[in-house]
C-alpha cells in the first residue's frame, strides 16, 4: 500500500515548542547530541516518509507481540514495519512501531544503534512524528503506536521527546487509541508517572536475566537503578489502581550474554510474580555487523519459540517453573516442545478420559489449549464425546492430543490410526 502524504504540521498560533522540541534556527530536529546533529526531515512530505521508514526499520527488533520466526520481523510493502500487535484485550491491531531517534549514545553490544549507529542518526521531533502517525491512522493503515527511541542528549531529554509526542496525540489531537511507550533506562520517576498517564501500556526492557548478564552486553545500564526500579514503580502503581490499563511488559534478548534458558525462564517467572508483568517477550540474538557480537553465531529462532511455549505454560496452563524440563546445562530441548516433554515424563497421568477430565487436567494434554479445553467442556455438557472429531471441532491439535486421551473408554489413538 502506498504511503499517505506525510507532511509535518506547523505549531498552532500561541503554542510554544518545548525545549526538547525546539531546534536551532527552528528546524524540525533537536539540538546536537553528543557532538553530532541528527539528520532527517527538513520539511517535505517525501523526506518525512523516508525518515519514518528508516526509524521504523530501526525499531523492528524491539518486540511487543508475536512469537515464532514466522510471525515477526516482517516488513510491509510500503517500507514501514507495521505489524499485527496483541493488545491488552487480546485483540490484534496494526501497530506502527517506530523510534523517535536512531543512533544511540550507549554501547549495548547487541544493538545496531550503539555508539551513534552505523549510518546517519535521525530524530523526529514530537510534532513531526505525531503528524506522521495521525496521517497513517486516518488513512486506516495503523490503529496504534509503539514508541521507543535511541538515546540522544541523555535519557531524560530522550524521554521528554517521547512524552511530548504522546502528549500531542492525546491532548491536542484527542487520539484515544493504543499507545505503548518504552521507558528509557535512566529516565526520572516523574517521567514514568507521566508515561503511565498517557500510555495504554509501558515497558522497560530487561534485556538480560541478571545484573551480571546485563553487564556483559550493556555496560552503560544499571540493573537495579535502570531496570528493576522503574519496573517496581509501575508495578506499585498498577497494584494501587493508578495504572489500570495495559500494565507493563518487558523483553529479554536470548543468547547474547551466555545466559541459560533456565535463567531466562526464572527471570520471566519472577517478573510475573513480583512485578505483575502483563507479558514477557523474547528476542533471539541475531549478530549485527559492526558490533562486538558480529561474529557470534545467531541464536536459533526455535530456541526463542521454546521460551515462548514455556511462557504460555506458566501464564495460562497452570504450570510452575519446577515442572519445566531443562537439561543439565539449563537448556530447553529443541527437539520436543516443553508440554509434550512433560507429558512423556508423566505416563502415570495418561491416558486421560476426556469425558471426566477436570479443566486443569485437559490443559496438561499436548495439543489442547485454554480455548479448546473450554469448547470440549461445553461439548460434553451436551453429549458424551466418543469420536476424535470432537477434538477437531474444538480446535485442538487432535493428532498431538490423541495419544494421551480416552474417548468414552476407548483410546483416541486407535481412531487416529484409522484416519
Between CA 391 and CA 319 the distance in angstroms is: 22
Confidence of residue 176 (pLDDT cuts 50, 70, 90): very high
All three cell numbers of 405: 486421551
Q: Give residue limits of the domains in the chain.
A: 24-244, 346-418
Q: Give the count of beta carbons closer than 10 Å to the beta carbon of residue 375.
A: 17
pLDDT band for 61, please (50, 70, 90 cuts).
low
Q: List pLDDT tens digits, range 231-263.
A: 999 999 999 999 878 899 999 999 999 999 999
Task: Provide CATH code, domain 346-418.
Answer: 1.10.150
Q: Which of 65, 95, 70 lies closest to 81 in space, CA to CA?
A: 95
pTM: 0.84
Predicted confidence band at 92 (pLDDT cuts at 50, 70, 90)?
confident
Decide if 124 contacts 51 (C-beta within 8 A).
yes
How much is the average pLDDT of 157-168? 98
Q: How confident is the model at residue 76 (pLDDT cuts 50, 70, 90)?
A: low
* pLDDT higher than threshold 80 for residue 271: yes
Give 22-39 pLDDT, tens digit per residue: 322 222 333 333 333 444
Query: Do residues 156 and 163 make contact, with C-beta atoms less than 8 angstroms apart?
Result: no
Residue 308, pLDDT > 90, answer yes
Closest to 146 in 3D by CA, of 68, 189, 83, 72 = 83
- The 10s digit of each residue's pLDDT in 350-400 is 999 999 999 999 999 999 999 999 999 999 999 999 999 999 999 999 999
Strand 405-407: give its sheet, edge to edge: 352-353, 405-407, 410-411
Amino acid at each position: 500500500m502506498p504511503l499517505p502524504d506525510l507532511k509535518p504540521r506547523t505549531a498552532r498560533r500561541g503554542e510554544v515548542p518545548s525545549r526538547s522540541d525546539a531546534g536551532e534556527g527552528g528546524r524540525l530536529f533537536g539540538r546536537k547530541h553528543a557532538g553530532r546533529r541528527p539528520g532527517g526531515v527538513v520539511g517535505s512530505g517525501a523526506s518525512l516518509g523516508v525518515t519514518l521508514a528508516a526509524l521504523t526499520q530501526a525499531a523492528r527488533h524491539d518486540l511487543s507481540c508475536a512469537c515464532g520466526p514466522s510471525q515477526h520481523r516482517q516488513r510491509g510493502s510500503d517500507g514501514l514495519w507495521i505489524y499485527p500487535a496483541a493488545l491488552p484485550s487480546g485483540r490484534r491491531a496494526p501497530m506502527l512501531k517506530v523510534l523517535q531517534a536512531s543512533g544511540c549514545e550507549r554501547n549495548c553490544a547487541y544493538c545496531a544503534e550503539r555508539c551513534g549507529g552505523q549510518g546517519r542518526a535521525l530524530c523526529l521531533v514530537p510534532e513531526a512524528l505525531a503528524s506522521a502517525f495521525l496521517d497513517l491512522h486516518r488513512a486506516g493503515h495503523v490503529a496504534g503506536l509503539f514508541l521507543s527511541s535511541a538515546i540522544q542528549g541523555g535519557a531524560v531529554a530522550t524521554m521528554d521527546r517521547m512524552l511530548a509526542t504522546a502528549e500531542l496525540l492525546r491532548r491536542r489531537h484527542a487520539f484515544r487509541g493504543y499507545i505503548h511507550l518504552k521507558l528509557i533506562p535512566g529516565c526520572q520517576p516523574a517521567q514514568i508517572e507521566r508515561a503511565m498517564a498517557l500510555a495504554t501500556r509501558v515497558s522497560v526492557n530487561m534485556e538480560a536475566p541478571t545484573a551480571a548478564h546485563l553487564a556483559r552486553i550493556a555496560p552503560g545500564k544499571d540493573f537495579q537503578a535502570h531496570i528493576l526500579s522503574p519496573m517496581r514503580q509501575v508495578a506499585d502503581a498498577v497494584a494501587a489502581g493508578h495504572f489500570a490499563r495495559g500494565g507493563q511488559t518487558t523483553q529479554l534478548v536470548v543468547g547474547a550474554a551466555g545466559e541459560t534458558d533456565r535463567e531466562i525462564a526464572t527471570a520471566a517467572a519472577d517478573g510475573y510474580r513480583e512485578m505483575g508483568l502483563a507479558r514477557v517477550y523474547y528476542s533471539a540474538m541475531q549478530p549485527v555487523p559492526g558490533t562486538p557480537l558480529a561474529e557470534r553465531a545467531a541464536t536459533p529462532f526455535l530456541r526463542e519459540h521454546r521460551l515462548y511455549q514455556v511462557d504460555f505454560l506458566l501464564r495460562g496452563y497452570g504450570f510452575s517453573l519446577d515442572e519445566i524440563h531443562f537439561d543439565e546445562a539449563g537448556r530447553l530441548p529443541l527437539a520436543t516442545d516443553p508440554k509434550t516433554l512433560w507429558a512423556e515424563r508423566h505416563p502415570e497421568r495418561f491416558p486421560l478420559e476426556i469425558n471426566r477430565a477436570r479443566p486443569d487436567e485437559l490443559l496438561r494434554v499436548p495439543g489442547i489449549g485454554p480455548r479448546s479445553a473450554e469448547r470440549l467442556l461445553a461439548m460434553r455438557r451436551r453429549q458424551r464425546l466418543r469420536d476424535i472429531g470432537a477434538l477437531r471441532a474444538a480446535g485442538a491439535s487432535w493428532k498431538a492430543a490423541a495419544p494421551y486421551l480416552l474417548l468414552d473408554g476407548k483410546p483416541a489413538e486407535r481412531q487416529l490410526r484409522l484416519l
